Amino acid sequence: MDSPLVIDVEGISKRFGGRTVVDNIPMQVRRGEIYGFLGPNGSGKTTFLRMLCGLLIPDGGSGRCLGLDIRTEAAKIKKQVGYMTQRFSFYEDLTLEENLDFIARIYGVSRRKEAVEKSLERLGMTARRRQMAGSLSGGWKQRLALSACLIHEPQLLLLDEPTAGVDPKARREFWEQIHQLAASGLTALVTTHYMDEAERCHRLAYIAYGRLLARGTVGEVVAAGGLSTWQVAGPDLPALAEHLRALPAVEQVVAFGATLHVSGRDAARLRSSLMPVMTPGHRWEEIEPGLEDVFISLMDAAKDNFV
């Protein structure tokens, strides 16, 4: 049996001046799901999150978040949502414990001392409780921010690029924590630019210039992209890339480490175009396209909403 919908909205739109920054976006997210929300900078992700949690009122569309109307019950939604912003937004001259106590006061948390203690223990911060927040590394600041999001026991986490600027070990630990929380029934909507993080999500949506371009599981999004992709390795790849971009049926050529990924939507025409350049000096292999291949293709085809 499917879990109940925590987010169920249709046609969400927002305009600033004459520019539509979120254009008719639908989203359905179930309880206990980790939902990835991807797109380039300026695509409208943060604006969408702010509309979900009641910080902005949509210009168009309707729906419910946590069973509450996003237009008329925004104040109630805010009390049940934990929102982690892109920037570290705590008092650097207060300790971890003092910052968490302050957040607990804002939310009117009962038995505040116990709530702070639980937050410190949950993410392994008890030994650092008296450390000044300003002296924390990026990974520990991230833990503090997540603890603050959880202190009032929310039902939904909105995480806006939560791992930007932290090292790979801290990113991995963060995602392990998110999966543990999801297993307990907490729902998370996460914006990210990292493809490995997108693959950790149960489902995802990709937007560009305010418009929804793809959604579903990783496998569904890749399949819907309709790409055929070849990988090539060998000498002088930059020169080869320039030559490949001029060939019929080649839609994108992207460097991946010591290889190139060459993609197009017409598999037969792409193979025909590449055959003459498949010389013994390079190693060619037809591969399954990845999320990054698909998202680059979607971005290339998207229309800029700034002009």
Residue identified by tokens 């350049």 is 277
Fill in the DSSP letter of residue 132: B
The whole-number pLDDT of residue 259 equals 96
Mean residue pLDDT of the chain comes to 91
Residue 115 has pLDDT above 60, yes or no: yes
Q: With bands split at pLDDT 50, 70 and 90, how would you rate the model's confidence at 187?
A: very high
* Mean pLDDT, residues 124-133: 90
The type of residue at 232 is V
Distances (CA, A) of 111 to 77, 114, 256: 22, 6, 52
If one counts every other C-beta atom within 10 angstroms of the C-beta of residue 108, the result is 9
CB 153 within 8 A of CB 114: no
User: Which secondary structure element, helix H or strand E, spans residue 15, and what is its range?
Assistant: strand 5-16
**Beta strand pairing call for 187-192 and 34-38:** parallel
Q: Where are the beta strands (DSSP E) in 170-277?
A: 187-192, 203-208, 211-216, 228-233, 252-256, 259-264
Burial 147-160 (b: 16+ CB within 10 A, else e): bbbbbbebbbbbbb
Residue 154 has pLDDT above 90, yes or no: yes
* Mean pLDDT, residues 280-297: 93
- The tens digit of pLDDT for each residue in 63-78 reads 999 999 999 999 999 9
The whole-number pLDDT of residue 305 equals 59
* Mean pLDDT, residues 233-247: 95
Q: What domains can be seen in the chain, in order of their start residue?
A: 5-222 (3.40.50.300), 228-288 (3.30.70.260)
Q: With bands split at pLDDT 50, 70 and 90, how would you rate the model's confidence at 194?
A: confident
The pTM (predicted TM-score) of the whole model is 0.90
Using DSSP, how many helices (H) and how many strands (E) does the chain show?
Answer: 11, 14
